[in-house]
Amino acid sequence: MDKILILDYGSQTTQLIGRRIRDFGVYTEIIPGDTPFSLEFLAGPVFEGTRALILSGSPESVYAGGAAPDQKIYSLGLPLLGICYGLQRMTHDHGGKVEPLPEREYGRIGVTVSAAGFPLPAARNEALAGFFAGFDPALSLDAIKGGARFSPGTVAAGAAAAGTAGAAFQFTAWMSHGDTLTRLAPGFIQAGTSETGYPAVLVHETENWFGLQFHPEVTHCERGREILAAFVFGAAGCAAQWTMEQYIEEVRASLKSRVGESPVLLLISGGVDSTVAGALLLKTLDPDKVHLMYMDTGLMRKNETGTVKAALEKLGAKHLHIVYCEKEFLSALEGLDDPEEKRKTIGDLFITIQEREVARLGLPDSYFLVQGTLYTDMIESGRGVGKKAHLIKSHHNVGSPLIEAMRASGRVIEPLDRLYKDEVRRLGRILALDEAIVSRHPFPGPGLAVRILGEVTREKCDVLREADAIFIEELKKRRGSQGKSLYDEIWQAFAVLLPIRSVGVAGDVRKYGWVLALRAITSADGMTADVYPFPAKDLLEISTRITNSVTDIGRVTYDISSKPPATIEWE
């Protein structure tokens, strides 16, 4: 299967590059930017099928200790695309010069690409025409995926359509850089320039090497997807061979051969990932051998346990072990109001209960532990893939000694570890998992405890559960601007109970109720987030319904903070 390898130098958007390209149907893997391209690596499974390399962006500078690729990548004959730092890296590695900008450039910046007057050496025509298709407004994404190439004719038409002079393409790119190229390396040609006068698009005279100073993977970058697709299909000649159906077949075969007749145990959190992993197990192995364990911590959303139980039973679960441990969690949380202390207490208790309950099941030693780990979790935990990103917030889920011991003895299976979140959702749909579960918003491991600011009590959990359920129900029934439900347009929405009360009036009587904050954000992956711009009518009606139905709540506010600087959760 054709594959694009992404060398990661730590940009916050490296994962997005991989996701965008997989959306085209081409498989991608992310590896540390300084991976040695040894003979062993070149003959190994990660490199197998590689048709091109992409060098990612980075928070570092090439002249100040930023990681370098193994220089062998430049003699493999593979097409290369350098993005931001990746381009600076290629320039630096070939004798060009990279220096700091007087002021960092961040955000939307116009770029002009002069493909028309560009001298195309005959031998380079094919790949360059493929690459330049990405900038040509006359060519759609589908056309580019189908192999459309830039030609002077289409340039003229495109430029006329875009109203640009001299058959040059203009578009608004998205940049985030503190360094720029001040001298190109020999062999590189500047094909595009930013409105601030810096090199923005580079091609090489003889090699299939390309460079972009902007980030085509970011949604705000105009023609970003087309530019990436033009590299993948036009310049690198990849075929779209990555399908979920094929993945399912591969994973099923490997699960069956690894597990044999042994039982498997899956720890289910109720979130999308572990529930999809459960569906995959139930549809692949003998359900008699599949044990599913779910902890009801009392910090769950309204009806959570019932929903998960019903969905798994519908898929044929025979051994669903639900551990009710609300009392244990609430008493451990008593008197705690520091967010980190709350998170740590919950994490530790998870481990204690997990060990106790797994032992109680009495599975034979030959059992396998299955986890719903995603590709992004693998990247974040630094397992198998790079960990070059600067740590923004230390997350979340517990590394349990049980899981680590099972891993050390080779008995942990992570069947979703090559998938991104949206791919897991697609897999869930193919496996006929309930849509209500598949399209669910993410929910944090520590549950409502990080949405009840200050001390957590049963009463506060109940109040928050009710208010949150009303909010979500309203989002599901209201239409958004794109014709979908508000719930489907929003990436994540929830209610937060604040540790303050305020005065109000209800039926002529003084009321002293809790203050609730509503949060709704749009995001691609939870790494950054924008506030969802509700029409005022929706917010007003939802607020009224909440204060009318949940009498302990006296006031509702809407959180209008983006991430950064705020995080998505409040604690």
Instruction: Please give the residue ranges that form the binding site for ligand XMP (CB under 6 A).
Output: 393, 395-397, 442, 444-446, 492, 526, 563, 567-569
Please identify, using beta-carbon distances, which residue of 313 and 340 lies nearer to ligand XMP.
340
Q: How far is the CB of 451 from ligand XMP (least distance, A)?
A: 9
- How many whole angstroms separate alpha carbon 103 and alpha carbon 424? 41
C-beta nearest to ligand XMP: residue: 396
Quick check: bond before 565 cis, omega within 30?
Answer: yes
224 alpha carbon, distance to own chain's centre:
17
The residues annotated as belonging to the active site are 84, 215, 217
Closest-CA residue to 75 (of 180, 207, 188): 207
CB of 507 to ligand XMP, least distance (A): 37
Minimum separation from the CB atom of position 12 to ligand XMP (A): 13
Burial of 334 (0-12, 13-18, 19+ CB in 10 A): exposed
Least CB distance to ligand XMP at residue 424 (A): 14
Burial 148-168 (b: 16+ CB within 10 A, else e): bbbbeebbebbbeeeebeebb
Please report how the helices 272-284 and 421-430 are oriented relative to each other, as an axis angle in degrees rounded to 10: 40
Which residue number, 189 or 353, has a Cβ lying nearer to ligand XMP? Answer: 353
516-545 residues labelled b (16+ CB within 10 A) or e (exposed): bbbbbbbbbbbbbbebbebeeebbeebbeb
224 Ramachandran zone, left/alpha/beta (phi>0; psi -120 to 50): alpha
User: Which single residue is written with the structure tokens 């910046």?
Assistant: 109
Quick one: CA dihedral 456, 460, 465, 467, positive or negative? Answer: negative
Smaller CB separation from ligand XMP, 244 or 469: 469
* Element holding 406 (H helix, E strand): helix 401-408
Nearer to ligand XMP, 492 or 547 (CB): 492
Give the torsion through C-alpha atoms of 422, 428, 432, 438, to 10 deg.
-70
Q: Where are the beta strands (DSSP E) in 239-283?
A: 264-268
Closer residue to ligand XMP, CB minimum distance, 70 or 380? 380
Omega before residue 69 within 30° of 0, cis:
no
- Residue whose CB is less far from ligand XMP, 473 or 559: 559
Q: Would you say 396 or 478 has its CB closer to ligand XMP?
A: 396
- Do the Cβ atoms of 163 and 137 come closer than 8 Å? no
Minimum CB separation of residue 269 from ligand XMP in Å reads 7
Q: Which residues pair with 290 in a beta bridge?
A: 264
Nearer of residues 383 and 393 to ligand XMP, judged by Cβ: 393
In the complex with ligand XMP, the residue whose CB is nearer, 167 or 531, is 531
How far, in Å, CA of 80 to CA of 72, rounded? 12
Q: Give 260's contacts (C-beta < 8 A, 6+ positions apart).
A: none
Could you tell me whether strands 412-413 and 368-370 are parallel, antiparallel, or unpaired per DSSP bridges?
A: parallel
Q: Give Cβ neighbours of residue 204 (< 8 Å, ≥ 6 apart).
A: 187, 188, 189, 210
Give the distance, in angstroms, between the CA of residue 404 and the centroid of all CA atoms in the same chain. Answer: 25
Quote the distance between the C-alpha of residue 41 and its chain's center: 27
Quote the least distance from Cβ 169 to ligand XMP, whole Å.
Answer: 36
**Least separation in angstroms between CB 526 and ligand XMP:** 4
For residue 75, CA distances in Å to 70, 71, 286, 304, 408 come to 10, 8, 49, 54, 38
- Torsion, Cα of 155, 161, 163, 167 (10° steps): 10
By beta-carbon proximity to ligand XMP, the closer residue of 233 and 471 is: 471
- Asked if 14 contacts 56 with a C-beta cutoff of 8 angstroms, the reply is yes
